[in-house]
């Protein structure tokens, strides 16, 4: 009987602690809002946007000294597999991705066959890559190489630039205007006189 009372007392104390902790976790200050609150539902990109990050790396391989040279691309340390069949003389690697808005870690590794072995050279960004809902971000790197295929720069960096995502919107608006103009064909606007041809 005594053990049962102790068990019930222990259960009551434990449940009280859980309740108090739960109440405390349900309150935050105004200053904590940005850090503590996350959206109930993630705001997705419009369906007509097929990509908002384009990564282009040129002068990777060729039929000369850079034969079989290749590269790996990583985003947040995850290997991104190309969506095309890569050949041994693939000169340009272009990745078109659709990512959720936020900051991403982007890097690549360039593999070059030099002599009897294969060396690895990093391609990096100066800082995290910012992806927004209203811009397309471009990362470009053209590998400058020595005659034997060795990169001139042992450590390379992407050039980053952005452009507004207005093409899809303008196209949709153009379609609406064209549709309106077709619907409005043959309509007489108020105050506009129409000259009629008289038959004699």
Q: Give the C-alpha distances (Å, rounded to integers) separating 191 from 181, 194, 196.
A: 19, 10, 16
Q: Given a cut of 90, is residue 128 above it in pLDDT?
A: yes
Domain count, the chain: 1
Residue 23 belongs to some domain of the structure:
no
pLDDT in tens, 84-104: 899 999 999 999 999 999 999
> What pLDDT shows up at residue 107?
97
DSSP 156-194: EE-EEEEEES-HHHHHHHHHHHHHHHHHTTTPPPTT---
Residue range 9-22: average pLDDT?
Answer: 57
Residue 80 belongs to some domain of the structure:
yes
Residue 160 belongs to some domain of the structure:
yes
**Among residues 121, 123, 114, 108, which one has the least CA distance to residue 67?**
114
pTM given for the model:
0.67
Residue 191 belongs to some domain of the structure:
no
Domain that holds residue 62: 53-168
> What pLDDT shows up at residue 165?
85
pLDDT in tens, 177-199: 444 444 444 444 455 554 555 55
Residue 45 belongs to some domain of the structure:
no
Residue 16 belongs to some domain of the structure:
no
Residue 154 belongs to some domain of the structure:
yes
Residue 133 belongs to some domain of the structure:
yes
């Amino acid at each position: 009987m005594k053990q049962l009372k102790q068990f019930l007392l222990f259960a009551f104390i434990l449940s009280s602690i859980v309740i108090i902790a739960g109440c405390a976790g349900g309150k935050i200050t105004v200053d904590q809002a940005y850090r503590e609150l996350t959206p109930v539902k993630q705001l997705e990109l419009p369906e007509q946007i097929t990509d908002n990050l384009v990564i282009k790396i040129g002068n990777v391989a060729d039929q000369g000294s850079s034969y079989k040279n290749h590269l790996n691309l990583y985003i947040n340390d995850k290997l991104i597999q190309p969506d095309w069949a890569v050949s041994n003389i693939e000169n340009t690697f272009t990745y078109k991705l659709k990512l959720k808005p936020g900051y991403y870690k982007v890097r690549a590794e360039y593999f070059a066959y030099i002599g009897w072995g294969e060396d690895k050279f990093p391609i990096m960004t100066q800082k995290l890559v910012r992806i927004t809902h209203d811009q397309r971000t471009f990362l470009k790197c053209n590998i400058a190489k020595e005659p034997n295929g060795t990169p001139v720069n042992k450590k390379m960096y992407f050039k980053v630039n952005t452009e507004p995502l207005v093409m899809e919107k303008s196209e949709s608006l153009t379609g609406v205007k064209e549709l309106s103009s077709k619907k409005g064909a043959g309509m007489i606007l108020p105050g506009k006189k129409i000259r009629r041809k008289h038959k004699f």
